[in-house]
Amino acid sequence: MRRRSHGLHLTLAVLLATTACAGLSAPTTASAPALAPPLPGGLRYTVAATGLSNESGWEGEIEVGDAWDRALVDALSRSRRFIVVADAGTRAAALDEQDLAASGRGAAGAAQAAATGRMTTAQLLVSGAILHIQKESKGGLGNVNIKGIQLGGSREVVEVQLALQVTDASTGQAVASTLVTGQAVGNHMNLGMDDAAGSGSLTTFQSDNVGKAIQQAIEQAVAWFERELPRIPWRGTVARVDGADVFVNRGQREGIHAGQTFVAGEVEVVTDPVTGEVLHEIMNETARLRVKQAETKVSICEVVSGDPRSLHAGLSVRLP
């Protein structure tokens, strides 16, 4: 029996070494496009990923809804064009912690107690839906039989259709949307045994092609989002006016640098009298600002035109 087992192991080793000759290559996937580099002088937008739902009706070995929310957040973070704030669940937990600290039920005088009024808000909300998942086998990859050990397989093609929508958090309006398709190709390999004792499948190796196709679709969607940014107004706010210094609530993390100029003023919103939908925004310029010093989260600016006395906290800041 021991000699038989040794022979079986040797046969398996020889069989696996010959799979390349039989056309059974390692699982592959279509390469995902590299995320676009930051645009010259481009500023970063604060975004929140609100969820990636599964509307395809597909069910399998992976959960394609909640499990892929984090993949969307990761792709947005790696693009270097976005500041990603926490998702709805994490923000709710933070609010609960702030409420606990404010209630007085926490440890008295706790220096690290969560303070209210400091949570970063998002300018843009990013949501997505997996609309369609299709799996198709592309015939056999050949079959090898050596001394009763069988190795065979087939090529699998998975196609995923993903819709992505970007919404302005201040108006609730969709400002951009796209439909992308991700595809992955991999091999399904079966290893079996057929001898005097009987026959059966020993094991199965299968690549996660659905996950790879979803990942590729997400990468494409985020790259598209970057290209859409020049059409989406970038916003900041005057946080404080201290003599000749005007503090804007955007800094180095948003890509701001010394010498950059902004327009500060009141924004007049034109809405539909019937539906209440925002139709247009008019920027009434109060002053033009130039950045003297950019800190991590704030920029200290000077007034280069307009009346400095008319500036106050709360004014909107836009690109010229």
What residues does each domain of the chain span?
2-84+121-230, 235-318
pLDDT higher than 60, residue 203: no
Mean pLDDT, to the nearest integer, of 62-72?
66
Q: Among 76, 187, 182, 79, which Cα is nearest to 140's?
A: 187
Q: What is the mean pLDDT of residues 191-211?
A: 52
Q: Answer whether residue 199 shows pLDDT above 90.
A: no
Averaged pLDDT, 250-266: 93
Q: What is the pLDDT of residue 310?
A: 92
In Å, how far are 46, 106, 282 from 120, measured between CA atoms?
Answer: 9, 23, 25
Read off the pLDDT band of 173 (50, 70, 90).
Answer: confident
The average pLDDT across 68-94 equals 77
Q: What pLDDT does 118 receive?
A: 44
Task: Tell me: pLDDT of 317 over 60.
Answer: yes
Q: What is the mean pLDDT of residues 121-136?
A: 87
Binned at pLDDT 50, 70 and 90, residue 301 comes out as very high
pLDDT grade, residue 101 (50/70/90)?
low
pLDDT over 50 (residue 67)? yes
Q: Report the pLDDT value the prediction gives residue 136, as an integer from 0 to 100.
A: 81
pLDDT of residue 157: 86
Instruction: Select the highest-mean-pLDDT range: 7-16, 184-193, 257-266.
Output: 257-266
Q: What is the pTM of this model?
A: 0.66
CATH number of 2-84+121-230: 3.40.50.10610
Determine contact, residues 166/125, Cβ cutoff 8 Å.
yes
144 pLDDT more than 50: yes
Whether 61 has a pLDDT exceeding 80, the answer reads: no
pLDDT value at residue 272: 84
Q: How confident is the model at residue 56 (pLDDT cuts 50, 70, 90)?
A: confident
Residue 161: the pLDDT is 92
31-35, 67-71, 140-144: which range is least confident on average? 31-35
The reply to whether domains 2-84+121-230 and 235-318 share a CATH topology is no
User: Could you tell me the pLDDT band of residue 112, with boundaries at 50, 70 and 90?
Assistant: low
More confident residue, 26 or 226: 226
Q: Which fold has domain 235-318?
A: Thrombin, subunit H (2.40.10)
Instruction: Tell me: pLDDT of 85 over 60.
Output: yes
Mean pLDDT for 134-147 is 63
Q: What is the mean pLDDT of residues 225-237?
A: 90
Mutual angle of helices 209-228 and 69-78, in 10-degree steps: 40
pLDDT, residue 190, reads 55
